[in-house]
Amino acid sequence: MQAAEIDIVSVTKKYGSATAVDGISLKIPAGAYCCLLGPSGCGKSSTLRMIAGHETISDGDIRLGGKVVTDFPPARRSTAMMFQSYALFPHMDLIDNVAFSLKMKGVEKGERRARALEMLKLMQMEAYATRRPAQLSGGQQQRVALARALITDPEALLLDEPLSALDPFLKIRMRAELKRLQKSLGITFVHVTHSQDEAMALADLIVVMNDGRIEQAAAPREVFERPATAFVARFMGDHNVVSGRVTGHGDGLVTFEVPGGQTLVASGRAMEAGRAVDVGIRTDRVRIGAAESQGFGFTAIVSNIEYQGASVKLSVTGAGIEDFTVITDDAAFFASPVIVGEAIPLSWAAGDASILGALDS
Ligand SMILES: Nc1ncnc2c1ncn2[C@@H]1O[C@H](COP(=O)(O)OP(=O)(O)OP(=O)(O)O)[C@@H](O)[C@H]1O
């Protein structure tokens, strides 16, 4: 199969006067596994449907494999879409379900059935070829839906929350299957999800969306290690976001004051005093113990402790700092446990607190 690059150029989607997608631009390389990630209502499904041609584009253009397809109907785009509900026909057996789009194209019966069987084989479902969808498990239905989408030989497969109907165990298994399938077919996958874990596990490119815009588009590790904005840091989880005002800078470090009056230090480029900043601090990089130098920690009051097996999660507050989380490994915690209500010193290394959004400059 051939893979297509997807180029979204200043695309806007309006429903009446409401803007669902607000002038986004994004290049998805051919053969990439791209996850559109974000909270409910951020515009991920609208973006996917515009790529598929199931939704008109209010402004801007979409190019697939270098060709402008903005006004093309779905069937002319070399894309295939797999829906959340799988949308299988209940009265047809699996072969007819999978062969359906070939029938629409006028492919002769013998050939379309042979190709459908081949697709079912690819998905290891040939033994069930004459069953109906209701006689299958959720995971099996998903494989059939995939076979049905792939039979048209698409250059890009578009998946809208493909794992959301599955139980947690199956979800993780099917997620591995999706990844394997994408690598073996080599075509571009665009997968809509609101799950950070799912996006981190699958994607080569994560696109974090918020309120119709793209907050960050980067490799999973980049998004996790260097969130571009406070929104991304909060949404990906595992980061504390502390807000304050800049009081000074020097040597790649910025000092800032939080509302409670204490001064902390973060890495970041020079910026003028008085500017409001958000600083990200990874929850797993904070340790219990006094800071070696001023500004790389604070005194916190423990408000909650959750045992999580391999780790322990502490919720704490400090002067001007609310909702701060510390993830510590279980051995370190139980070697010298703390209790709710206790005042404890917290600290982190110089590179572990960074000004969000100023990391690339
Ligand atoms: N057909 C429609 N008519 C009017 N408004 C719509 C339509 N489809 C979506 N919207 C609105 O556009 C915005 C973006 O919706 P969209 O479905 O793209 O978001 P999403 O990120 O995929 O959300 P979810 O995860 O809940 O599916 C929402 O505010 C939604 O209510």
CATH architecture of 6-225: 3-Layer(aba) Sandwich (3.40)
Region 325-332 average pLDDT:
95
Residue located nearest, by CA, to atom 17 of ligand 1: 45
pLDDT tens by residue, 234-254: 999 889 999 999 999 988 899
Question: Quick one: pLDDT at residue 357?
Answer: 61
| Res 361 pLDDT > 50 | no
pLDDT tens by residue, 198-209: 999 999 999 999
Ligand 1 site residues (CB inside 6 A) read 15, 18, 20, 38, 40-46, 194
Question: Quick one: pLDDT at residue 316?
Answer: 97
Name the residue of 24, 42, 215 to mutate for ligand 1: max ligand atoms within 8 A of Cβ.
42
According to CATH, the topology of domain 238-355 is OB fold (Dihydrolipoamide Acetyltransferase, E2P) (2.40.50)
pLDDT tens by residue, 271-324: 889 999 999 999 999 999 998 888 999 999 999 999 999 999 999 999 889 889
**Domain range list for the chain:** 6-225, 238-355
Question: Quick one: pLDDT at residue 271?
Answer: 86
Give me ligand 1 centre to Cα 40, in Å.
8
Region 195-222 average pLDDT:
97
Residues facing 257 on adjacent strands: 245, 263
Angle at 288 between CA 277 and CA 333, to 5 degrees: 130
Ligand 1 atom at minimal distance to the Cα of residue 212: 14
Question: Quick one: pLDDT at residue 124?
Answer: 86
Region 77-85 average pLDDT:
85
Question: Quick one: pLDDT at residue 282?
Answer: 93
What the block records as the tokens of 292 is 């070696």
pLDDT tens by residue, 103-132: 888 889 999 999 999 989 888 888 999 999
Question: Quick one: pLDDT at residue 331?
Answer: 94
What's the pTM? 0.89
What the block records as the tokens of 284 is 């797993």
| Res 360 pLDDT > 60 | no
| Res 30 pLDDT > 90 | yes
Ligand 1 atom at minimal distance to the Cα of residue 49: 18
What the block records as the tokens of 16 is 């009446």
- Rounded distance, CA 33 to CA 159, Å? 11
Q: What percent of the chain has pLDDT over 70?
A: 98
CA–CA distances in Å: residue 338 to residues 2, 137, 306, 307, 314: 57, 47, 12, 12, 9
What the block records as the tokens of 109 is 């019966």
